[in-house]
Structure 1
Amino acid sequence: MRILLLFLSLFVLTSSFGQNQCKRADRKLKKVEKHIVSGAHDDAMKLLLKIERTCDDSFFNCAVGDIYFMFQEFTKSYFFYLQCYAFNGLIDFNTLSLSNFLETAYLTGNYNVFDEVINCDDFNLNITANTYLDKLIKKNNFAFHQKKDSVFFAPVLLSINSDKDEYFPSMPIDTTIIIYTYRNKDLKFQDEDFYISRNQNGIWSNPQKLGDNINSDYREGSLSVSLDGQDVFFASCHRPDSYGGCDLYYSTLINDTLWSQSYNLGSSVNSKYWESQPSISADGNFLFFTSNRDGGYGGSDIWMSRKYNNAWLNPVNLGPFINTSSDEATPFLHYDNQTFYFSSKGHDGFGGFDLYVTHMDSLGNIHPATNLGYPINTHYDESGLIVARDGKKAYYNADISGDLNIYSFNLPDKAHANSVAIINGLVIDSISRLGVQADIFIEDLNHVNSYHLNSDHLGVFSFIMPIESAFSITVSSEHYNFYSENYSLGKEEYVKDLSIVLDRLNIGNKIDLDNIYYEFDDFSLKEESLIEIEKFANYLLVNKTIQVQIEGHTDNIGSEIYNYKLSEKRARSVYEALLNFGVPSRQLSYRGYGYSMPLSNEDTEAARLKNRRTQVKVIGSYE
């Protein structure tokens, strides 16, 4: 419909040139029109570039502006519309040309001209009710006013950049490497490949191709590296095993430089449509990506797939607080598992793709998005944002210097994520000192984040937590004692190394349950205790042959009889909770010991706290 209106506009305009003695331009413009009608757009553009203006005619300027608009040459289109406007105001604009003029003013960052035009006395006479134009006016009003309230912005060009295009950066949490997409825009066939550079004492090494198991003769688009740098998820187009145009793939690191064969993520994630721009969450359980599949809000939307039992589930759309009727792209969930960044053409912004931030709560609810502000966002395209673990330093791609390059900069306060630390753990056997594969549960004691992960065959595991946080770790493995401990992180503690030593299961072993709490001077369990009890119940359900006794212990405050009864009731409370979680009664017994078995005889509050405890003793096996 829009092209039909353009043809009608051209017919009216070129019919007017003879009356205005612009016959030379008239004849050439009619040839341009014929090329457009016949579909010879390249010939139309070549001829348009040769047209020499022989008169100052606003009709002519509007016609040329319309043609450039159709070819999405918005800067040139705006130039000719502006000449038309300067020559005779809005008198010579028809509805289509005026709408185009406003759109090019917005898309080229001339928000003040847009504002001037819509406030002209005769503006409403030239334009009819138009929902798209209403949205455009809203966007321009946002840009016009927000540009005056700019944020601090000092981008730094990374040394990995060249005179070609570099974009879509990705890093593991320790920033030891950066992987990005490279495109030689000078070649007729602009193939995209992944390149990698290594951080060597703060200096980026010369970039190298990532490897033939990932790069291929087909087109690679964007990539996301896992928290530890051991896995990558990426987009590639038109491979033989593709379900559609572009699909998402996976590869894992074999050694320092060799990546495994890449695997298609399958039909639960990929479709006959376009999938690209993957982003893997810190825990590896959520994959965000962009797709134009059915079921979205229009254009390309951001979707999320969850990993369950080592399989990716069908993706869900992230909804209207993120997706719009236009295009969204380049999702990134920060390591804090709450702060979410993306780019969009649809939200209020400055034109093209802008960068936005929103937040997800622990229930998966998403809050309205916030534009990062000017001059981070401009009328050009900004995308590919990733944020370091401190929640302040960001990397993104933009064409600030005329080439598409990767920059770093500090985020404004409103866009900060929570600073996080990486915890590197090792689970070992107390006798052999060899690594142990184990189930590991991490619980933020503020109940913000929780993780379930496994140590590998060497006993190694890692996870992230907010700085200045407290958390519990419970570790269980068949034929080993249950392990539970609390830890805390300091303000500047960005890396913490843990060594967890597991004892073999033997009769007489005692296990401390440190995260069991009771109401004051009572035997009722506090709600947060059920987390620890459930984990211990799961441990007993794995080690089905052991029999344990729940032991209650108190401090020396109060009478001996009172403390004995209190400890007995508290032990029974844990016993009953374990039964409720499905542990067979034959595995369980309980007993209160009062103050008869203190760990410390000191008369201090710290000693009394140590003596008030719940322990589990391995008393036998019914095999």
Structure 2
Amino acid sequence: MQSTFYFLDIFLADFFSCSKKVSFCLFFKVFKIIGIFGVGILYFSPAPSQAQTNTNVLWASEVIDFSSEYFDENNPTQHTAKQVLGKPNVLPAIWQSPCAWSPARPEARQDEWIHVGFEKAIFVKQIAIAESFGAGAISAIILYDTEDKGHLIYKNQRTEPASTQGKMFNLFLKKKTTYQVKSVKIKLNTIDVGGWNNIDAIGISESEIPIKAEINITADIPFNRVERLPQTVNSPYSEILPVISPDGKTLFFDRKNHPKNTPSISAGKENDDVWFSRHISDTVWSEAERLNEPVNNNQHNYVCSVTPDGNVILLANAYLPSGKMDQGASISYKTIDGSWSYPEPLKIKDFYNTDKYAEICLSPNRKVLIMAIRREDTFGSRDLYVSFLQKDNSWSVPKNMGAMLNSAASEITPTLSSDNKTLYFASNGRSGYGSFDMYVSRRLDDTWTNWSEPLNLGNVLNSAGWDAGYSIDASGEYAYFASSKHSNKTTASELDIYRAKLHVEVRPDPILLISGTVYNSKTKEPIGAKIFYEMLPSGENAGTAQAEPQTGNYKIALPPNSNYGFLAKSRGFVSVSENIDATGNEVYKEIKRDLYLTPIEVGQKIRLNNVFFEQGTANFLTESYPELDRLVIFMLENPTITIEVEGHTDLEGIPTMNMKLSALRVKAIQDYLVKEKIDKKRIETRPYGSTNPITRKRDEESKKLNRRVEFKILSY
């Protein structure tokens, strides 16, 4: 090979050998894996631990000009010149990724080229070019100084295919340039190196340490071994898209082509039904059972999300009254006999999806949808979108979640954790180990478009195959996912369900999992009811849940760093609210807290647990207003009701002072109701001071129990 060198050495990092030449047609020859299109890829491990991190590298930030770019009107962002910008998002994997620049045609002419700029000019010791496919075609490198003068620093007149289809081409100069470099132009000889030639990234550095293509993963995350779930879950058929209930006790999944599945609507098409298994203990799972109609029908059926209480599931597709299916998602509720209601389609404004497939997840608080779909503003094949619950129970127009998450390839199978900010998803649009890898990113603000850089979950969870469908329990302890890794299935498209214990670094923030039973306070019988929780002191709705109709059992997941009020609601009852402070919570906790509903009957007493006063005064704390406003609404909705507001103190202090304080407090509540247009004649007051305690004990919990405000229904 005849070359003219203005440098000391050329460092060519060949990571593995690949003797078979792959045509660009292979990129479009897709194989079907659980209804997602994948591509054939070659893989190798990331840079060894002793390699430099790329903190001192400037990656191209601007495309100045180029000879040509591949264009597909159906995928206008893929393979374009702009895909060369930023750090490598294909290497160290090697394949014809849409996230790399490709000239318009293979072997079109001798000189294809691209000219890129950097955010600032620097003196250069090293140039790195990420050849993600068709390596060996680089014929010239020209550096441009701040006066736009070109300096030819590399010329290769006899280009030929490299020993590997992809690699990082590192060019070291004998010494740093005497001029500052602000842009670089590279030329490719696409005749000598036939097929398609892809450039993933172009970087410059003042360092002599070789620039490596790195997978964005925190070093040395110690995962426990990956555990394949037992034969009671995994069968000879494919099990995919696992969804674990937040309490970790029930696993829903999609089982394909099983003889017990509902026969397909079209002969020869794959059939998917929802199955579930219960976690008994440790590695023991119950024999999987198939859900009955109406959840399963003669089309594709799978669970997307399950709420913390396990009483509501989000299903893929819109279940129409006619029995047919359409694009979208539907909600099904557990009924009093333990079965599931006919799924109700969600009303998502301007919803459409131009891709054949979609995955949608529902946040644990039932206020946010995250969708893997394709729309007009999609960056690549499928992107992640967010939609928010509106006051009329419709959902907002899907909003693209931005370039930090979405690539020119595909992002799929999103899962939002119980902390409402940690997002797990799969992608083939960034540096990884396989055709689809799993990643984690954290929401940085309330726009839902500002996210941390996705972190690869590592080569224990991610394999050289297809890894997606990630789900975690509320504790964040276990990750459940579908993978072809170690699968005993006969074809690459068949998958099993696995789980692995997560290291704390990639877990979501710890939450409080509140559970209990909703009771009728008079009869002490359980009631099925809706659960509402709010942030205090703002009163902003934080989420909803559903108590099981038969048992009254409920669960809610409360993210950290907020104070919460929560209560049950049912027609004909008054809610008795509860509260819990999650600020400063740093560990996952499960807390038992029963809720009560008091029938609207004369003589019934209702405790106002979320009315708070400044110590020793009748001044309301701001956390009190949501509770006071609920009392106002109750009085307005029941205009014939009269009540008596009762005030109690603990046993500490002087009894006469306690009586005076409780009189001031019940008067403050009466005044608030009158201010809100409630007739004063409907509100009697009675202070009790410390004369009517619930307990004579004097510990702090007993004091809290005695300090209370209640109202009694006098007439109805």
* Structure 1 equivalent of residue 396 of structure 2: 314
Structure 1's 380 and 577: CA in aligned 2 closer, same or farther, altered over 3 A?
farther
Q: CA deviation at 1:175?
A: 4.1
Residue 102 (1) aligns with residue 102 (2): no
Match of 2:667 among 568, 572, 577: 572
Task: Please say if residues 296 and 317 of structure 1, whose CA atoms lie closer than 8 Å, have aligned partners that are also in contact.
Answer: no
2:535·2:563 contact (CA, 8 Å) conserved in 1?
A: yes
Q: Secondary structure at the match of 2:625?
A: helix
Q: How does 1:200-239 map to 2 (within 5 A)?
A: 201-202=280-281, 203-207=284-288, 209-211=290-292, 213-220=294-301, 223-235=304-316
SS state at 2:520 partner: strand
Matching residue of 1:143: 214
Aligned residue number for residue 49 of structure 1: none
Deviation at residue 191 of structure 1 after TM alignment: 0.9
Q: Structure 1 168/444 Cα, relative in aligned 2: closer, same or farther at 3 Å?
A: same
Please state if 1:462 is matched with 2:554.
yes
* Number of the residue aligned with 2:187: 126
- Alignment equivalent of 2:386, drawn from 281, 292, 304: 304
1:276 aligns with 2:358: yes
Aligned twin of 2:181: none
Question: Aligned residue for 1:36?
Answer: none
Q: Which amino acid aligns with 1:540?
A: M
Classify 1:354/1:455 alpha carbon distance in 2 versus 1 (closer, same or farther; 3 Å): closer
SS at match of 1:201: strand
Distance in 1 between residues matched to 2:279 and 2:701, nearest whole Å: 46
1:56-455 equivalences under 5 Å are 65=23, 68=26, 71=29, 73-75=40-42, 95=112, 102-103=132-133, 116-119=168-171, 125-127=186-188, 133=199, 135=201, 141=212, 143=214, 146=217, 149=220, 151-159=222-230, 160-162=233-235, 164-183=237-256, 189=268, 191-199=270-278, 201-202=280-281, 203-207=284-288, 209-211=290-292, 213-220=294-301, 223-235=304-316, 246-252=327-333, 261=342, 264-265=345-346, 268=349, 270-271=351-352, 273-274=354-355, 276-308=358-390, 311-317=393-399, 319-320=401-402, 321-347=404-430, 349-350=432-433, 352-360=435-443, 363=446, 365=448, 367-375=451-459, 376-377=461-462, 380-401=465-486, 402=492, 403-417=494-508, 418-428=510-520, 430-431=522-523, 433-436=524-527, 440-443=531-534, 450-453=542-545, 455=547
For 2:455 and 2:323, how far apart are their aligned partners in 1?
A: 38
Cα deviation, 1:368-406, whole Å, max 9, x if unaligned, reads 243143213456442111001221201112222355332
The structural deviation recorded for 1:74 is: 4.2
Q: Distance in 1 between matches of 2:558 and 2:235?
A: 36
> Equivalent residue for 2:99?
none
**Identity percentage of aligned residues:** 20
CA contact (8 A) 2:389 2:396 kept: no
Q: 1:546 deviation in Å?
A: 1.5
Q: Deviations over 1:38-63 (max 9, x none)?
A: xxxxxxxxxxxxxxxxxxxxxxx897
1:157 is aligned with what amino acid? R
- The residue type equivalent to 1:567 in the other structure is S
- Deviation for aligned residue 1:532: 2.4
Which shifted more, 400-409 or 350-359?
350-359
The equivalent residue for 2:576 is 483
Match of 1:522 in 2: 617
- CA distance in structure 2 between the partners assigned to 1:542 and 1:215 by the alignment: 41
| TM-score normalised to structure 2 length | 0.61
Give the letter aligned to residue 102 of structure 1: S
8 Å contact from structure 1 (residues 372, 415) kept in 2:
no
* Pair 1:197–1:519, CA change in 2 (3 A): closer
Q: Distance in 2 between matches of 1:525 and 1:127?
A: 74
Q: Is this contact kept in 2: 1:568–1:591, CA < 8 A? A: yes
**CA separation of 1:506/1:216 partners in 2, compared to 1, >3 Å: closer, same or farther?**
closer
Q: SS of the residue aligned with 2:474? A: coil
Q: Distance in 1 between matches of 2:300 and 2:700?
A: 66
What is the rounded CA distance, in whole Å, between the counterparts of 1:254 and 1:476 in structure 2?
17
Structure 2 match to 1:531? 626
1:400-453 residue CA offsets vs partner (Å, 9 max, x unmatched): 23553321001222211225435131322524x555565644457799984445
Contact kept, 8 Å, 1:65 with 1:78, in 2: the verdict is no
More strand by share: 2
Once the two structures are overlaid, the 10-residue window that deviates more, 496-505 or 270-279, is 496-505
Q: Which amino acid aligns with 2:305?
A: S
Report how many aligned residue pairs link the two structures. Answer: 538
Gap change, CA 1:242 and 1:474, over 3 Å in 2? closer
- TM-score w.r.t. structure 1 length? 0.69
Whole-angstrom CA distance in 2 between matches of 1:547 and 1:497? 30
* Structure that is richer in helix per residue: 1
In the aligned structure 2, how far is the partner of 1:104 from the partner of 1:206?
Answer: 49
Aligned partners of 1:556 and 1:213: how far apart in 2? 58
Q: What are the ranges of 5 or more consecutive residues in structure 2 without an aligned counterpart?
A: 1-18, 30-38, 44-92, 97-108, 115-127, 136-161, 175-183, 190-197, 205-210, 259-263, 487-491
Shift of 1:305: 3.5
Question: 1:233·1:280 contact (CA, 8 Å) conserved in 2?
Answer: yes
Structure 1 unmatched runs, 5+ = 1-60, 81-91
* Deviation, structure 1 residue 328: 1.6
**2:622 alignment partner, SS class:** coil
- Tell me the distance in 2 between the aligned counterparts of 1:65 and 1:420: 53
Tell me which amino acid in the other structure corresponds to 1:155: V
Which has the bigger relative contact order, CA under 8 A and spacing at least 6? 2
